[in-house]
Structure 1
């Protein structure tokens, strides 16, 4: 059987190319996800644990408060210890000229523990010197001799190290980090002392440290372990977190596999329909149904093995390219062999299962029936009746579940929505031969003005509704899933970002902090430095800014409330959610205030003023925002107190923070930097990255579907070879035949687009509405559609449908009518 399958593949490779591509892309997608995510996790784990890479043992005191010097001395006195060094590092923005970057700043490790070498220059030996990694130097466009700025301090670059390209923040080294308190120590064992023995020795000596935690007891975060074990645990923690991402991405791998399985099924159905006469002849001369079925399944196994092998190779290549782009390749590829083997087997199994239905259908046809040119009317009627009954039951169940999901409450509505989507999806897919002809007639009505060729293409597409629906169903499924998930992502992003903007309305604040006189307890008067205001406003990333005036006054709730106000129109450009609540008689207070009072009374030299309290997100500490009218009643002498900033790009904080932290006398002037740009920017980056990744992954599903459309169109043209030849013999020109096939492919493609988009919009609305209702009934859901992406998807599908008809059309048009009409 396998020999015959290989012979069939060798003699008719064109029939199987699209199937092999669908399998290879689907399996390559899964392998790429497994390898790339694991490679990224391992690389990030090695990067985070790189400070322990040259150690034998690692001592981690966790959250315990201990004297660092006491810990260091105790470790030194332990038997078997040759050297010990505390691990000190922090993250901060650094700038050089107009370039900024986030840096992992390490204190230069002792000689035995250095994991990198200086490739140019020297290690820093003075307080004002720094060594940059090659990656950091390239980001900052800095070289040896240049001066870079760390949190307002200028450091001279004296060396460039050979650290690998960082996945997140680039490393740099200074002689000392005086503000950091170590929690981790690396230890080198003496010659002849095994790391495991040194761990035992340290477990006995470390309890001598004052306030020492319990090490390795499982009830805390303090550990003494070998360096290899410490690094492995770090990598495992990160890869476990990355595995969550992997499993989420595997959902889209399942989508690609599902679309691929449908394409494989439709391809086999058309292949077997094309070989119907051949199969009937085999049955007529004595071949049993089991022999025919085994031959079809053998072909499926051969295709599955070859396609899955190509998919594994494709996945490895994708991982290498992705890891090289992110820099993870410097730490080596991770090989999750178990996942790769499972994914290879999944590709083979999916191919066999997808071919099982066509194989059964082919072997259940009687020999004489198979030798007829078309199925009998009675057979069509039986299939149509069964299809109508099944689809009606599924549709009723899907509608009933949708009603429950829309009107119900509790977490069960998500289950109802999912079940409804499954039932309605099956209804649409199974019922395609029932409604596709009607949709094509509607599209054909629009094409009627194009002439008799267009009308003939509509009639021709409806002559065999099963064949036409098989051609459209893969594209219909891919478009439906893509639109569902794209609209879901876009709606989620819009809704979440609206919540971010409401809870973190101010990107950055630069404000006066309270200065308490230690003798009297009064708040000293202060004014925001005009030069600081100008510096903040001149930041390149600032879109809008507003200066708020006010002062410090006492209140019932705060010993010294920071009362602020400004022009509502200007505040609306920076924090619209705060501006719309600014009304006379209302005091906006931080939402973190607990308990939240109903009123607030302010006491100053002007007397007492009582205002109604309303909570507002985004305010810090003791900030209270009032109307300009109320400010004049509360604060005796107002001055510039704070500047609020709205950034063009919240995720690009490094340049702004670098400039703001370099303002002279920042600490002495009691100025503070706040705002929600950090949290908002992180969430925004995650959502943007998720949208890009999911759009790319969904593009794979659409690509597989388009391959299926091209394949099924090509095979349907081959199946209708005699039909096309008859049209040519009756006088149709080659151009007319090609044009007829073009019109037909456009109509079939539009069926997939229309049905897929309508279903996708509904499923997205139902799913997102259900999820947010379970999360919070008070969160307004903003239904959002990414129109450029959606319209681009339609254009791609139509262009692909047109291109899919070019080659088959040329092949049909070039055939000599007399040869095509001859019996095979």
Structure 2
């Protein structure tokens, strides 16, 4: 296991970084939850245990989201790595190794990478959390009360990240099972479109998507108090239950969307590409999305995850504040200090959710970089057929542009829906609240479009430069 990891350590730098960020996020999240709990305990709202329970619930939701994002990013990263190792794996198969042995080796590499990253990230986050509390207390930002920062519970995120990284590596290595020894005689290739869009994949995605959507609707109805009548105690219990139900529904439905990505994302990418330009480079960029649906959807889904995540958080937090303001206007005496505490909590969670955004960004950069580098033969063939280096760069730039547009459109729709359901399921039944529309600030829309475009373009510049510097004959000789 360790020997295999050492031999392929460079391939797993992104996996280690994702594991470190995920573990750091979880440890920092638990530490900040303990700090906020002590802070709220020193205020008037501390008399209500339901506030602290809601805080723990929200923290748990954020950690599950971060762990899920890390798992999806790791799965895509491993799948991208395997796509570039097909010929090596096939050669090992030809020499007598079985597909299961190779898949176990890949999962073992993921376990080692996850352990290294999770241990480093968890330790760093614990130390920084302890230091931050001390500094904020000395500066007067936080009241001078005991804060339980370092607790045994901080080990939970580390263990969870190691487990999810191993499972994600196992899932991402499923491509190994389809590699045949005969592929050792040729170059590594992506599977054809018909093998990716098989009926079994569509059926699996629907089995996750349909129940997930049903749970999302059920969680929304629970959060709105439809089944509680006028009983306040039951409204509180159902509010907490609604968030858990909506969380499970969100994970199931989004997993179904990820599985179904090769069926719909290439079409969106192709349509976007055709709108962006009619030149040879633009048309070829649009055609690449349909020619390699697994590669294009795998790259695009990383951007979709990032946009969905940020949109979900922004919409949820803005909708939470809106619900509290509406409720406070209707019931002025019930929410004294609520908006202030919620604002402080949102500031803390805003910093923490940046970890998840960085996790998704790491996956996008890694997938784009590996995807371009693994296409050296394809780019070399285009150069041999008469494409100039500038045309190849324009083609890659066009692909990045269509990725940006498709990811932003898809992510904004999904993130708005998930964020609104999350906000309403948690606070929809509070006195004075109710069913309110989602709040999507315009500055955020501008920022997310600009950030996504910059990420997609910047991630493809360096590998494209490296690929186009290679002579066409040398590129065609790359395995």
Shorter chain as denominator, the TM-score bin is 0.7 to 0.9
> Which one of the candidate residues 435, 448, 452 is aligned to 1:797?
452
For 1:368, the equivalent position in structure 2 comes to 182
> Is there any run of 5+ residues in structure 1 with no aligned partner, and where?
49-167, 169-236, 505-617, 619-675
Q: Does 1:492 align with 2:320?
A: yes
Q: Tell me the CA shift for residue 398 of structure 1.
A: 5.1
For 1:265, the equivalent position in structure 2 comes to 75
Q: Tell me the CA shift for residue 349 of structure 1.
A: 1.3
SS at 1:444's partner residue? helix
Q: Does 1:352 align with 2:7?
A: no
**Mapping of 1:415-564 within 5 angstroms?**
421-449=250-278, 451-504=279-332
Q: Tell me the CA shift for residue 786 of structure 1.
A: 2.3
Structure number with higher helix proportion: 2
Q: Does 1:753 align with 2:408?
A: yes
For 1:300, the equivalent position in structure 2 comes to 110
For 1:812, the equivalent position in structure 2 comes to 467
Distance 2:208 2:98 in 1: 36
> Which one of the candidate residues 76, 81, 94 is aligned to 1:284?
94
**Mapping of 1:12-161 within 5 angstroms?**
13=10, 15-38=11-34
Structure number with higher strand proportion: 1
Q: Does 1:253 align with 2:68?
A: no
Q: Is the 8 A contact 2:380 2:476 kept in 1?
A: yes
Distance 2:40 2:307 in 1: 36
Deviations 1:380-439 (A, max 9, x none): 347521122333454554566667677893158947755654453233211100001110
Q: Tell me the CA shift for residue 793 of structure 1.
A: 2.0
Distance 2:169 2:64 in 1: 18
The TM-score, its normalising length taken from structure 1, stands at 0.50
> Is there any run of 5+ residues in structure 2 with no aligned partner, and where?
229-237
Q: Is the 8 A contact 1:44 1:238 kept in 2?
A: no
For 2:232, the equivalent position in structure 1 comes to none
Q: Which has the larger radius of gyration?
A: 1
For 1:8, the equivalent position in structure 2 comes to 8
Q: Is the 8 A contact 1:39 1:328 kept in 2?
A: no
Distance 2:34 2:213 in 1: 42
For 1:311, the equivalent position in structure 2 comes to 121
Q: Is the 8 A contact 1:37 1:243 kept in 2?
A: no
Q: Does 1:724 align with 2:379?
A: yes
CA 1:239–1:719: 2 relative to 1, 3 Å: farther
Q: Is the 8 A contact 2:86 2:189 kept in 1?
A: no
Distance 1:469 1:818 in 2: 30
Q: Which has the higher contact order (CA 8 A, sep 6+)?
A: 2
Q: Tell me the CA shift for residue 454 of structure 1.
A: 1.8
Deviations 1:242-274 (A, max 9, x none): 787455324212222211111111111010110
Deviations 1:505-527 (A, max 9, x none): xxxxxxxxxxxxxxxxxxxxxxx
Report the number of matched residues. Answer: 456
SS at 2:440's partner residue? coil
RMSD: 3.5
Distance 1:424 1:41 in 2: 32
Q: Is the 8 A contact 1:706 1:797 kept in 2?
A: no
Distance 2:326 2:254 in 1: 31
> Which one of the candidate residues 388, 391, 406 is aligned to 1:736?
391
CA 1:396–1:741: 2 relative to 1, 3 Å: same
Distance 1:405 1:32 in 2: 28
Q: Is the 8 A contact 2:25 2:356 kept in 1?
A: no
> Which one of the candidate residues 338, 355, 365 is aligned to 1:683?
338
Q: Tell me the CA shift for residue 17 of structure 1.
A: 2.2
SS at 1:784's partner residue? coil
Deviations 1:531-561 (A, max 9, x none): xxxxxxxxxxxxxxxxxxxxxxxxxxxxxxx
Q: Tell me the CA shift for residue 766 of structure 1.
A: 3.9
For 1:705, the equivalent position in structure 2 comes to 360
Distance 2:220 2:103 in 1: 46
The TM-score, its normalising length taken from structure 2, stands at 0.83
SS at 2:8's partner residue? helix
CA 1:331–1:812: 2 relative to 1, 3 Å: farther
SS at 1:726's partner residue? helix
Q: Tell me the CA shift for residue 688 of structure 1.
A: 1.7
Distance 1:395 1:806 in 2: 36
**Mapping of 1:117-266 within 5 angstroms?**
245=55, 248-266=58-76
